[in-house]
Chain A
Amino acid sequence: AQSVTQLDSHVSVSEGTPVLLRCNYSSSYSPSLFWYVQHPNKGLQLLLKYTSAATLVKGINGFEAEFKKSETSFHLTKPSAHMSDAAEYFCVVTLGGYSTLTFGKGTMLLVSP
């Protein structure tokens, strides 16, 4: 079985400060991991994905995530938050050979001026 746990339902930051969104996964096999972002009234958009290559993955809009097998984590970070980053973020896992994505419950990122 595969699952992801997003440790925070809401994260609030000030514009210009770092962002950390936490995700832990559970998987019996080597997983592929993703982060998706969902802005209001817009479709889910892929930020980045890990597929067993480099453990530090860079995505769009300055986001990056590090796969840590020993900690079963895949936390999303950004050095400096922008107002346009305010959205809901989903950590997602899939197993090799399976085509279904398992989503976490999401973390709402709030960015204040």
Chain B
Amino acid sequence: DTGVSQDPRHKITKRGQNVTFRCDPISEHNRLYWYRQTLGQGPEFLTYFQNEAQLEKSRLLSDRFSAERPKGSFSTLEIQRTEQGDSAMYLCASSQGTTPTDTQYFGPGTRLTVL
């Protein structure tokens, strides 16, 4: 069991650049979630997929953010025209079941710094 993996672990970019993060969930997990965590705060939900379908998006997910899970396996989160306020830890989680109480397994996160 390799757990949830995320790549890269760290990303430094200049304001206005585009960035893309990748998440590989635990094999055969149906649901995949993205969260954002800023300093001193708990993670905040961004969006989630069930298989390849994106079922819910938070109001936090502005038009500059897009997420995909094309084959129901790995997922990518892209941020276009990055802003300094996008600096945060981006977390991915996956779960096997389809209910709210199914355990979500988290990856180590991608830390984004926008200069």
Contact B104 A101 (CB under 8 A): yes
Hey, what's the 0/1 contact readout for A3-31 against B, CB within 8 Å counting as 1? Answer: 00000000000000000000000000000
Which of A94, A97, A103 touches B44 (beta carbons < 8 Å)?
A103
Which of A32, A42, A44, A105 touches B41 (beta carbons < 8 Å)?
A105
- Whether A99 touches B31, Cβ cut-off 8 Å, given contacts A32-B100, A43-B107, A49-B101, is yes
Query: Looking at chain B, what size class is its interface with the partner chain?
Result: 20 to 34
CA distance A105 to B44 in the complex (A): 10
Q: Give every chain B residue within 8 A of A42 (Cβ-Cβ).
A: 108
B residues with a Cβ closer than 8 A to A are 3-4, 31, 40-45, 48, 55-56, 58, 91, 93, 99-101, 103-109
14 residue pairs A–B, Cβ–Cβ below 8 Å: A32-B100, A32-B101, A36-B106, A43-B4, A43-B106, A44-B91, A51-B101, A92-B42, A94-B101, A98-B100, A99-B55, A103-B44, A104-B42, A106-B40
